[in-house]
Each structure stands twice: as structure tokens, then as C-alpha cells.
Amino acid sequence: MPTPAGHRPVRPKSADHAVNIAPPSLNLPHFTNADIQMPNDSTTPFPADHPPSSVPTFKQLSRTPLVPEAVLKRHGAYCAIDTRFRAAARVLQCIWLKAQGIATAASDDHSAAGAHSSFGSTLSADAANAGKNFLHPDIHRLALQEWLLCEDDAAIDEERLFGNALSSMPLVFNLFGLLALDHELATAVFRRLLPNFVHSVERIIFEHSPGRREDRFLADRTAFDLAVRVITPDGEQATVFIETKYSESMEGPAARIRDRYNEASKQVRLYRDADSASLRSTALEQLWREHMLAQLAVDNGVTPRAIFMALGPRLNRRVQAAFRLYEAELINADQREPDRVAFAPLTLETVIDAIAAAGALDPAEALWRRYCDFDQVYRLSMEVLAGGENCSSASQPSVTSRRALPPARRSLPPSGRRCTNQVPTRAKRTSGTAKQAVA
């Protein structure tokens, strides 16, 4: 079967800190890598594409594979409004769940027509409650702890966290949970990602805000996926505030624009044009809010220094485009004031590479296999197209173009199943939709 050229394993020759927490049941890859893509004219002094002392360990495809509709239907991954990346990412999660023997909501749930009425990327209630959405039991326990002891008014949706394999919420814990449990490893990783800013990692906090609904900040619920408390090479305390994306299309939902946002946009002195309409667009407004919040944390003495880091898969073109467009709105690094918070856009692949280079090769491979190994999706699609697998049994309404949105994976049919991503029964204690700045 054909496979893209260049997919050979490359392992680090040396490691600063070895650790192995990957369960034996994980089916680890024997190929793949991480090409990095952020432009060289970045306004931040912390290059996203080639962190110092980092040797790429995995190899990514050049673009997201186009997934045949038959494959999507066969795996319970058909969603009419998915972008090309989200469709492939949904299939990748279905592949991972099946490989791990994890029951899904779609396993025993079919409509009368034989089609899945739940997505194959949604865990069954029992699997969700057992913590199967996480790469290791220790990470599951950490997620439970952070949920139960979350900050007041934190917007954590436990159904997405525990039951939706495609969500970026469990990705945050799978990616950074091991680092939160091992600060020596966290230090090795962040030194590679931000060598001029991080000397050591002191603490990692999930779903954090320096002050929800406080007027001195944004007077809303804007929060970061992660706050990493660090000591800089100069011995100062500092914070890396992190926002993580995975399959998002950057189409909302967006927060209601408030007067406080307009005031803060001028107050933080980060932007070429504080009144820019682009900052308030659906694709950029969350980055705008969080970067302002990071700067206000510095200005209000919460932390002496900070960096705002945004993470997303290299192949998610919409996420990467949003990062580039947002960066273009910022004052150039050589023109901004020294105490302004820098923006550091990185790829998900870069972080996984850094984890591998720091010695945690098995966890890095497990992360890659689950979230970035789109070669699996390519191979599956090629097998179907080459006639090696019959995926024609499922039936769905034909697709007709109706959307006025930017080009996506496929359009919404007149009477097709929408993307609801319903998670099976779990007690609902969520305090709101994460990322939404609820009044």
C-alpha cells in the first residue's frame, strides 16, 4: 500500500530526563515526525518552528488527508459541517479508541437506517467514567482533582473533558498532565520551548484566570487552559499563559464585545491599532481577550513577567492562519515596551517533539499516535479507495451546498445529522461553556 515518503522513525540520541508512564496497552507508532511551520518573521523572540536544542522526532504529512465519506460513515465520524481537518481528526480519534478497545457511544447505538446516531469519537458512559479519555490513570486522577478543585466560576465542561475524545479539553491534560506531575520533566520541556524565558518550572495550573469578573481585568470569565509558573534565567518569577486548540475551525462561538474590551485594548499597549475590527472577529477575538488578560495580570502585579503561548496542530490551517493574522496585529518586538507580554505561537507537534527530546519518548509517541499521526488516516483512506475495504454499507443523505461560511470539509445537507457531539449520561455539573466569556 502506498505511503508518503519520509516516514521513518527518528529517535533522540540522548535525553536529559527519562520517564516512561505509557501503559503497555498503548499501540505506539513505528514512524512519523513533526514538521514545524510558523513563519520566521515572528514578532516574538521565541521562534515557534525551531526551539533551540530540539531535534524533530516525528514527521508530519504535508497536508491533512481528505477522508472519503464512506470512511467517515463507517467509523461513525460523518459530520456534514466538519472542516477537512476536523473530519480527519475525528477519524483519528475513532481509530485510537478502537485500537485501545475503548467502548464508544456509537458501539451499540444505531438508527433504524443503520447509521450511527452518536459519533465514534464519543466514549460510552462507562468508558468516560473509567477515565479512558486519558493516556494514563495518573492523568485521569489529575483531571478529576482539577475538576473537583477548580477555581470559582471556572468553565469546565466535564462531559467534553471525560467523554469527548475530539475535544481540546482532554488534550490539555494529556499533553501537560505528565508535566504537572513531574516538574523536572516540565522544566526540560519548557527550556526547549522558551529557552530565553524559562529556567525552571515551579507549578502548572489548569483552567486559570487571574481574576474572573473583576473590573481591573476584563470583567468576564475569560481564562487560560493553563498557567505555568516559572523562574526565568534572570531569577525572576514569571508565568506562561497557554491556550490550546485542536480541531477548532475558529468560527465561534464568540464572546459578546464589551466596552471593557475596547478600553483594555488601548490600555495594554500591545496592538498596532487597538480599534482594529480584525481583533474583534470571530477567528481572533479569543486570542485578543486572553492576550489582554495576560498583560493585565502583569500590569496588576499578579506576575512580574509573562508570555502568552498559543498551541495548535500544524495541519489545522484555520488555527494556524488565525495565529498568523493575530500576530500581524501586534506591535513589532523591537518597537514594543519591554514589559509587554510576548505572543508565542507554537505547533502541537513542536511540544510533542520537546517532550520526546526531554527523554519522555513513550508518552510523546502515545501523544503523537493519538493526536498527530494522520498517516493512519491516510492509510485507511487509501485502503478504501484502492478497494481493500468495503465501506459502502452506511447510508446518509446526499450533500448539497448551503453554507455561507468559508470553505469547509463539506456542506450541511438539507436534512442531515448535525454535529451535536452528545456525550452519554454523566452528571452535569459544568459551570458553563469553556472559552466563552459569559457575563
| Per-residue pLDDT, 425 | 47
Q: 269 in the Ramachandran plot: left (φ > 0), alpha (ψ -120 to 50) or beta?
A: left
Task: Give the pLDDT of residue 121.
Answer: 93
The whole-angstrom separation of Cα 208 and Cα 7 is 38
Of 26-35, 89-98, 232-241, the least confident:
26-35
Mean pLDDT of 332-350: 96
pLDDT at residue 34, rounded to an integer: 33
Of 25-29, 173-177, 226-230, 419-423, least confident by mean pLDDT is 25-29
Q: What is the pLDDT of residue 400?
A: 32
> Average pLDDT in the 96-104 region?
95
Range from 38-42, 241-245, 367-371 carrying the lowest mean pLDDT: 38-42
User: Rounded distance, CA 126 to CA 406, Å?
Assistant: 38
Residue among 254, 299, 314 at smallest CA distance from 279: 254
Neighbour-count burial for 405-421, b at 16+ CB within 10 Å, e otherwise: eeebbbebbeebbebeb
CA proximity to 345, closest of 48, 111, 97, 92: 48
Residues 246 and 88: their CA atoms lie apart, in Å, by 12
Query: Which residue did the predictor score with more confidence, 395 or 157?
Result: 157
**Residue 63: pLDDT above 80?**
yes
**Distance between CA atoms of residues 84 and 64, nearest Å:** 7
Determine the average pLDDT of the residues in 424-434: 44
Find out whether 249 and 86 touch, Cβ atoms under 8 Å: yes
DSSP string, 49-92: S--TT----SB--SSPPPPPHHHHHHTT---TT--HHHHHHHHH
Residue 113 clears pLDDT 60, i.e. is over it:
no
Whether residue 23 is predicted with pLDDT greater than 50 in this model: the reply is no
pLDDT at 112 over 60: no
The per-residue pLDDT for 57 is 72
User: Residue 404 pLDDT more than 80?
Assistant: no
Residues 6+ positions from 300 with CB-CB distance below 8 Å: 210, 211, 216, 217
Task: Find the mean pLDDT for residues 285-308.
Answer: 98
Q: Is the pLDDT of residue 246 over 90?
A: yes
- Look at residue 359 and tell me whether its pLDDT is greater than 90: yes
pLDDT at position 369, please? Answer: 97
Tell whether the model's pLDDT for residue 15 goes beyond 90: no
According to the model, what pLDDT value does residue 437 have? 63
Give me the pLDDT at residue 385, please.
86
Identify whether the C-beta of residue 342 lies closer than 8 Å to the C-beta of residue 44. yes
- Residue-averaged pLDDT of the chain: 81
Contacts of 66 (CB under 8 A, 6+ apart): 84, 88, 381
**486559570: which residue's cell?**
208
